[in-house]
Amino acid sequence: MSKSLLFIPDISGYTKFIQTTEVEHSQHVISELLEVLVNANTQELKLAEIEGDALFFYKENDIPSQENLLAQIESMFTAFYSHLKMLEKNRICPCNACATAPNLELKIIAHSGHLQHIEVQGTRKPFGEQVIEAHRLLKNSVESDNYVLISRTLALDIMLSPYYSSKIYRFRQGSDSYDDKQVEYIYSVIDPKELKLRSFSNPKKVSFEGPAQIVVRQKYPVSAAELLEYVTNYSFRHYWTEGIDRLDYNAKEVTRVGSEHLCVVNGKHLNFTTITKDPRPGSLIYGEFTASAPILDGYYQFYHFIPTGENSCDLEIEAYWKAKSPIKKLVIALMGKKLFRKNIEKALSGLLHFVEKTN
């Protein structure tokens, strides 16, 4: 029986991140990162289990070449840090989870050995001494939280020198004792600055030459940050907006610049994209844009969350729109502007009722 690869990417800082930040958003962030790591699997590794902050992969009776294994490791580090960079650049939420997510790091443990398996409720999983040893290697004496560790057993299998060095990797030797058994390994601290992080679209920040066509303001008995969550968490939207038949969005992600959602209102499909513009000093901002609003060629709506106390704020909505043809402009002047204002005022009243009921 040939040897198998055991491969464990583990998010460093997970425990502190979960315990000291907002639960829902921290769960979303970790879930996104784990999914990013799964999607960065280039070597057809099999996912045995999701272990909280870690993924346990294996490749049965097959060990990738040195070149392929190092490429796989680089792929996961690149995907991980590219996603963190995107979260940092595109975030709109001020909560501690979203603000500190870029501080998370990654470590990867790679080991090899002969596997046994255990079957539980029809699911076959790796089992045995090598699995235990791979997980024990997560607790090591490497003085970093951002590294790859390859057991000496695996390094010998793929003929990887303990002195291997490249732009990304600078391996060193190490060892630790587990149950009176000395286990040797090589490791390399990974510098994210040396990775070729993936490019992503810059946040869509807009500006306007003239004033908003509509401005409506309302007071709320909650903090600006809490009200921002009620507005940007689309799972709450149907509680305070009338006429929603369906709302499609990615429930696994925290809303950020570039997030999209489909709102079906009274049978009309409106595709929205989250946008932003420069906020007012001391305030929070959230914006939406749609090119599918009836009559209009483009509709922008910005929410300004203005703190007035520890548990109070004002919410001001600004609406801007584009209408190119003279006919559209005439229709908006005669009835459209009044209708838009009425809908905004109704939504703000619904949001106030929802906030008062929730709190």
**Percent over 70 (pLDDT), the chain:** 99
Nearest one of 281, 285, 320, 319 to 304, comparing CA atoms:
285
- Residue 67 has a pLDDT of 97
Q: Where in the chain is the domain with CATH 3.30.530.20?
A: 214-358
Q: Where in the chain is the domain with CATH 3.30.70.1230?
A: 4-194
Lowest mean pLDDT among 55-69, 143-157, 201-215: 201-215
Architecture (CATH level 2) of domain 4-194: 2-Layer Sandwich (3.30)
| Helical (H) or strand (E) element with 340 | helix 337-358
Do 316 and 203 touch, CB atoms closer than 8 A? no
| Helical (H) or strand (E) element with 73 | helix 66-90
Residue 204 has pLDDT above 70, yes or no: no
pLDDT digits (tens, 9 = 90+) for 211-257: 999 999 999 999 999 999 999 999 999 999 988 999 999 998 999 99
pTM of the model: 0.89
* The CATH number of domain 214-358, selected from 3.30.530.20, 3.40.50.1820, 1.10.150.120, 3.40.50.20: 3.30.530.20
